Amino acid sequence: MKKDTRLILAIDETDADKAVSIAESVTGSIDAIKINWPLVLSAGPEMITRLSRISDVICDFKVADIPNTVKLIVENSVSRGACAVIVHAFPGSDSMRMAVDTAASMGASIYAVTEMSHPGGMEFTAPNAEALARVGVECGAKGFIAPATRPDRIAAIRAIIGDREILSPGVGAQGGSAASAIRAGADYVIAGRAIYNAEDPRAAAEAISEDARSGL
């Protein structure tokens, strides 16, 4: 994944053709596309491959399973064209290590979720966020997810993870500022509807990317 635009496009559409047309509308103006299970469930796993012909693809699968199942999910995602898979740290070190080793053996990367930004994330993920980040660091995750809506949390995770990467969702529709997220320590910001619901998606992507890079 290159670091040109500092922008990752989250496609939360579940229609196959809409997803592809959104991706095509911003090629060159983003560094990667992030997709999740709803698209796979509605349009099939071949969407990973279709989108990977347009851009780098990150499978935001929030994998949270035993090591052998983690291995199968990462293997299949990467063999279909994903450059990275997002996994949870809370299933512990053996699952995380299996994710990282499987991805690495195929030239792909793992990003770890520590703290989740929705209200329920305060119940179990937030109190464990720093220990969860250490699991990711010890097991060799390429980077971490931390919310643009809470730059203090980006800074807190940055303090633990050294020079590993931070991807920061919540920019745009959810109110996070791209510049503030990057300034707090994020490497990439993630935006979705703010881009593909805009009248001119490419212009919207370029504006967010410019804002992000102003925080460097």
Minimum gap (Å) between residue 46 Cβ and its own copies: 8
H helix or E strand, kind and range, residue 136: helix 129-139
Asked if residue 149 binds its own copies (CB under 8 A), the reply is: no
Q: Indicate which residue of 2, 3, 62, 142 is catalytic.
A: 62
Catalytic site includes residue 62: yes
Minimum gap (Å) between residue 159 Cβ and its own copies: 20
Asked if residue 194 binds its own copies (CB under 8 A), the reply is: no
Asked if residue 49 binds its own copies (CB under 8 A), the reply is: no
The span from the CA of 86 to the CA of 144, in Å, is: 9
In degrees, rounded to 5, the angle at the alpha carbon of residue 58 between the alpha carbons of residues 182 and 103 is 110
Binders in 90-109 for its own copies, by CB under 8 A: 90-96
Alpha helices in 45-127 (DSSP H): 46-52, 67-79, 93-105
In the beta sheet, which residues pair with residue 86?
111
In three-state secondary structure terms, 118 is coil
Site string for its own copies, 163-182 (x = CB under 8 A): --------------------
- For 47, 55, 93, the CA distances from 11, given in Å and listed in that order, are 12, 12, 29
Hey, what are 101's tokens? 């080793």
Minimum gap (Å) between residue 163 Cβ and its own copies: 25
Asked if residue 32 binds its own copies (CB under 8 A), the reply is: no
* Interface stretch with its own copies, choices 17-25, 26-34, 84-92, 148-156 (CB under 8 A): 84-92
Task: Give which of 102, 67, 65 is closest to 82, Cα–Cα.
Answer: 102
DSSP structure class, residue 171: B
Q: Which residues bind its own copies (CB under 8 A)?
A: 14, 36-38, 40-42, 44-45, 61-67, 69, 72-73, 76-77, 80, 88-96, 116-125, 128, 131-132, 135
Which residues are known catalytic residues? 62
